[in-house]
Amino acid sequence: MPECDNPLWPCAMTGAAACLAGFDGINVVIHGSSGCYFYPATLLHAPLHGTFIIENDVIFGSEQRLLEVLDGLADNGKKTAVIMTCVPAILGEDIRSILNDYSVILVDAPGFSGDVENGYKKALSVLAPSVDPEKEGVNIDGVCIFDPFSGGNVLEVVRLLGSASVSVSTVFCFDRLEKVKRSAAYTVGTNRDFSSGIGTNLGGMLGFEEIRTTFRRVASVCPDADPTPVEREIEREDERIVRACDKFLRRFDPPYAVIFSNFSYATFAARTLKHYLDADILFVGSRNKPGNSPFPVEHVQDFSHMKTLIRHHNPDLVIGSSFERSVDTNRAFVGLTPPLRGMVMLAPHAIAGITGTLSFVEEVLNACIDRKK
């Protein structure tokens, strides 16, 4: 792994914490120092526990400290998951045998083992989700509490499935722990970069075209499903978006946009801007390894690289995180990517579902219009 200027994306440990802390019924213990604990604690806004190891624990072994923390959690009726951070992961202690007498999930996700997606997937695999063929409904996946839109995405997709008379089975990863072992045979996604791999994937929920296709597939496997209300809603809201965007285009040129996000969200944003606003997508910087794309895309992991690209392309619309917003404050900006610091987000906002597309286009239009005033 080469050197990296101001890395833009968190480590595997944070991803593992985000996965596990999304489940109700788990005590998440970060086995590491206070430094490792405080970052996910401030980013995820979820109850986390820590062993807060110090030098003595490294010299004499961290067993006693870990057991002290686990004993403190023993009476709250929840399962406990221990996430190994960098130093405990290489200490050579046989943590698994230390924990033999405890019913504990052990997740080896040191920061050096990869990025947030790796840790998320590793933690989910340790939970060993399984499909119950008798279970009705569909699962929702791609939900990671690291993503500030995850809560809004869940609400929106639950709403849409309800509107199509489809029940929701397990939400990965924002649900009760016991539901992990009894998920349905089919899954719809909100963010492909955090997909669960559980059940047959029926498609995603990013953008109207994808939603429409996914609901047709849902209807083909769920006999009671009726996608008509969702299709009607898409038709109606699509017209509203077209009207709003045409009104914008009568006055202004299409935006010249650069987008920095995880690949799945970035692709959604690029397609949406192209479709409704004939935007010129100058560049897509993917936080994670990108797949095939009709847009110019590159894996961008550090701040200097991102700043150079923004200055080089000179867009009038920047979509990304608060890091991208900091580069130049005179460009229209829409927040899509964590972290979104320096702004208040209290109500749930979605990117997935019909509301997600509406919100995204609304944000883009308002940002572009404000900048042109």
Work out whether 69 is an interface residue with other proteins (CB under 8 A): yes
The whole-angstrom separation of Cα 21 and Cα 173 is 8
Binding window for other proteins (CB under 8 A); candidates: 28-36, 139-147, 190-198, 346-354 = 28-36
Contacting residues for 47 by C-beta, under 8 A, at least 6 apart: 21, 28
Q: What is the nearest approach in angstroms of other proteins to the Cβ of residue 338?
A: 9
Q: What angle do CA 216, 217, 221 make, to 5 degrees?
A: 120
Residue (of 337, 341, 342, 336) closest to 359 by Cα position: 336
Binding of residue 199 to other proteins (CB under 8 A)? no
Is residue 86 involved in binding other proteins (CB under 8 A)?
Answer: yes
For 51, phi then psi, to 5°, come to -90, -20
Of 219 and 306, CB closest to other proteins: 306
Binder to other proteins among 45, 243, 312, 341 (CB under 8 A)? 341
Ramachandran class of 288: left when φ > 0, alpha when ψ lies in -120 to 50, beta otherwise: beta
In the chain, the amino acid numbered 38 is F
Question: CA distances (Å), 169 to each of 166, 197, 348, 353, in order?
Answer: 9, 15, 21, 17
77 vs 342, beta carbon nearer other proteins: 342
Q: Which is nearer to other proteins, 9 or 23 (CB)?
A: 9
Q: Which of 21, 43, 206, 350 binds other proteins (CB under 8 A)?
A: 43
β-bridge mates for residue 98, sequence order: none
Tokens of 296: 């110019």
Is 17 an interacting residue with respect to other proteins (CB under 8 A)? no
Look at residue 49 and give its three-state secondary structure.
strand
Distance CA 242, CA 248 (A): 10
Q: Is 34 in the site for other proteins (CB under 8 A)?
A: yes
Binding mask 96-135 for other proteins (x = CB under 8 A): --------------xxxx----------------------
Closest separation in Å from C-beta 148 to other proteins: 13
**Distance between CA atoms of residues 317 and 150, nearest Å:** 24
Which among 31-39, 133-141, 148-156, 196-204 is the span making contact with other proteins, rule CB under 8 A? 31-39
Which of residues 53 and 160 has its CB atom nearest to other proteins in the complex? 53
By CB under 8 A, name the binding residues for other proteins.
Answer: 1-14, 29, 32-39, 41-43, 47-55, 58, 68-69, 72-73, 86-87, 90-91, 110-113, 301, 303, 307, 322-323, 326, 339, 341-342
